[in-house]
């Protein structure tokens, strides 16, 4: 089936600490895994993504790792800042080269305390 599980549902950290959010995916995923950040009342914003030909990708304070054997991928945010507070969604791309959809995890509400 098509399923993405995300944990934890809420995460509270002190400013400057690191935050890690984990997701697992079902077999049929296409090996494209984006992460979105959604602030209250706003659109989901693509912050980073990874494809199966790499195990890790970094963009400043954000990194994503992918473990294909275990079928899980994680978002790592270092040196967290209050503006990182938002809901984060992982997703898996399902389909083919001709058509695709994103299956989303349930979301993680990240709170960064000043």
When binding is defined by CB under 8 A, the residue of 35, 85, 93, 110 that contacts other proteins is 93
Taking the CB of residue 103, how many other CB atoms lie within 10 A of it?
18
Residue 1 lies near other proteins (rule: CB under 8 A): no
Query: For residues 27 and 20, is the Cβ–Cβ distance under 8 A?
Result: no
Query: For residues 4 and 104, is the Cβ–Cβ distance under 8 A?
Result: yes
Q: How many residues bind other proteins (CB under 8 A)?
A: 30
Binding mask 21-50 for other proteins (x = CB under 8 A): ---------xxx-x-x-----xxxxx--x-
Residue 82 in 3-state DSSP? helix
Residue 102 lies near other proteins (rule: CB under 8 A): yes
Query: For residues 54 and 60, is the Cβ–Cβ distance under 8 A?
Result: no
CB nearer other proteins, residue 78 or residue 104: 104
CB nearer other proteins, residue 19 or residue 50: 50
Upstream peptide bond of 8 is cis (omega within 30 degrees of 0): yes
* Binding site residues, other proteins, CB under 8 A: 6, 30-32, 34, 36, 42-46, 49, 51, 89, 91, 93-107
């Amino acid at each position: 089936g098509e399923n993405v599980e995300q944990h934890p549902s809420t995460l509270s950290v002190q400013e400057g600490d690191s935050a890690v959010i984990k997701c697992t995916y079902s077999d049929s995923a296409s090996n494209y895994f984006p992460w979105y950040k959604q602030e209250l009342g706003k659109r989901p914003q693509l912050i980073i993504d990874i494809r199966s030909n790499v195990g890790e990708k970094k963009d400043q304070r954000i990194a994503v790792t992918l473990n294909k054997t275990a079928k899980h991928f994680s978002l790592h945010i270092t040196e967290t800042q209050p503006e990182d507070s938002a809901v984060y969604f992982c997703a898996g791309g399902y389909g083919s080269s001709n058509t695709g959809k994103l299956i989303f995890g349930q979301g993680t509400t990240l709170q960064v305390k000043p």
